[in-house]
């Protein structure tokens, strides 16, 4: 029984769903919503986030089973023979259905639209979209922005959350383009048309840096423009935004000096630190 449960955990990459759920909870804290039904909304949103992610990853393994077998991906439970393709499809259907039901119960058409869009794009991505490089990158970046956009839709639009979703999208897209540089050999086997493979590593590097610079330019806006009084001239927001920006500038400088795969890999990991600092910049002023 425990072995089967572990196989399903591996199939659905449950830890990613928990990250999505945590991002949703953080965005709720940033939104500071009023109302007695907030616990209900939060629970429904958490369920919708986790089950949509579970369905998407199960579907990914369903479509990629032959490639995973060729690549000896023994970390995949279908390859190990612990989960069948039909079971993976059942998990996909159940996950997507529960996610849509949870989204419907929240009573907000905008939030439900975000959930449905994520599900539709995940189906296209798993079936074919990932082979088209930049379009697959855009989908992954959208999933990083989705928790903040989702919460903004729940509360009739939040300027701060909308801005945060744009920043998350830009950084997420930059990270995926960097990943295309790192994975060129494997992508060549599947003819994945990443920016790096179509236009070259140097071009991909400059595109990623440009996206990071755009994110850097947007991050100070809440401090200088009164989108929300919580962030306007807030020293906590300023300090954390500067630290996040310096970290991202370090990534850009490292990439511009050298585009070797090891350098790109280290720089991509560093972007996670910049993202955490940016999230703290938006979160801490609301609770301190």
How confident is the model at residue 82, as a pLDDT? 92
Query: How much helix, strand and coil, in percent to the nearest 5, is found in the chain?
Result: 85, 0, 15
Report pLDDT digits (tens) over 144-192. 898 898 888 877 668 899 999 999 999 999 998 998 888 777 677 667 7
With a cut of 60, say whether residue 107 has pLDDT above it: yes
Report pLDDT digits (tens) over 225-280. 988 899 999 999 999 999 999 999 999 999 888 767 778 888 888 998 999 899 99
Structural domains of the chain ordered from first start: 1-157 (1.10.357.140), 158-288 (1.20.120.1780)
Whole-angstrom Cα distance, residue 255 to residue 17? 30
Report pLDDT digits (tens) over 207-225. 999 999 999 999 999 999 9
Question: What is the distance of C-alpha 203 from the center of its chain?
Answer: 23
Whole-angstrom Cα distance, residue 192 to residue 135? 11
How confident is the model at residue 3, as a pLDDT? 82
How confident is the model at residue 284, as a pLDDT? 94
How confident is the model at residue 94, as a pLDDT? 96
Q: Are 181 and 264 in contact (CB under 8 A)?
A: yes
Whole-angstrom Cα distance, residue 157 to residue 270? 31
User: Using alpha carbons only, how large is the chain's radius of gyration in Å?
Assistant: 20
Please state, in angstroms and as integers, the Cα–Cα distance from residue 222 to each residue in 203, 234, 235, 248, following that order: 31, 9, 12, 18
Whole-angstrom Cα distance, residue 285 to residue 288? 5
Report pLDDT digits (tens) over 80-100. 999 999 999 999 999 999 999
* Average pLDDT score over the chain: 88
Report pLDDT digits (tens) over 10-46. 899 888 788 888 888 888 888 877 665 778 888 888 8
pTM: 0.85
Residues in contact with 260: Cβ distance below 8 Å, sequence separation at least 6, in sequence order: none
Residues in contact with 33: Cβ distance below 8 Å, sequence separation at least 6, in sequence order: 41, 154, 155
How confident is the model at residue 18, as a pLDDT? 82
How confident is the model at residue 264, as a pLDDT? 84
Q: Are 194 and 134 in contact (CB under 8 A)?
A: yes
170: tokens are 């830009």
């Amino acid at each position: 029984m425990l072995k089967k449960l572990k196989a399903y955990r591996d199939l659905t990459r449950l830890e990613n769903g928990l990250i999505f759920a945590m991002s949703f909870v953080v965005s709720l804290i940033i939104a500071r919503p009023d109302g007695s039904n907030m616990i209900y909304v939060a629970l429904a949103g958490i369920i919708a986030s986790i089950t949509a992610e579970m369905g998407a990853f199960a579907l990914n393994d369903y479509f990629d089973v032959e490639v995973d077998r060729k690549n000896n991906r023994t970390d995949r439970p279908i390859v190990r023979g612990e989960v069948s393709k039909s079971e993976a499809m059942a998990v996909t259907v159940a996950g997507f259905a529960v996610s849509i039901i949870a989204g419907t119960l929240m009573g907000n058409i905008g939030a439900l639209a975000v959930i449905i869009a994520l599900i539709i794009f995940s189906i296209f991505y798993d079936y074919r979209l990932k082979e088209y490089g930049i379009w697959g990158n855009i989908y992954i970046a959208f999933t990083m922005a989705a928790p903040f956009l989702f919460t903004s839709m729940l509360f009739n639009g939040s300027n701060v959350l909308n801005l945060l979703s744009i920043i998350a999208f830009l950084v997420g897209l930059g990270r995926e383009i960097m990943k295309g540089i790192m994975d060129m050999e494997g992508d060549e086997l599947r003819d994945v048309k990443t920016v790096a493979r179509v236009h070259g590593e140097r071009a991909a590097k400059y595109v990623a840096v440009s996206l990071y610079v755009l994110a850097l330019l947007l991050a100070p806006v809440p401090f200088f423009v009164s989108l929300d009084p919580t962030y306007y001239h807030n020293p906590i927001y300023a300090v954390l935004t500067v630290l996040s920006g310096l970290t991202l500038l370090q990534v850009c400088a490292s990439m511009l000096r050298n585009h070797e795969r090891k350098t790109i890999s280290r720089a991509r990991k560093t972007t996670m630190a910049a993202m955490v600092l940016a999230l703290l910049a938006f979160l801490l002023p609301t609770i301190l």
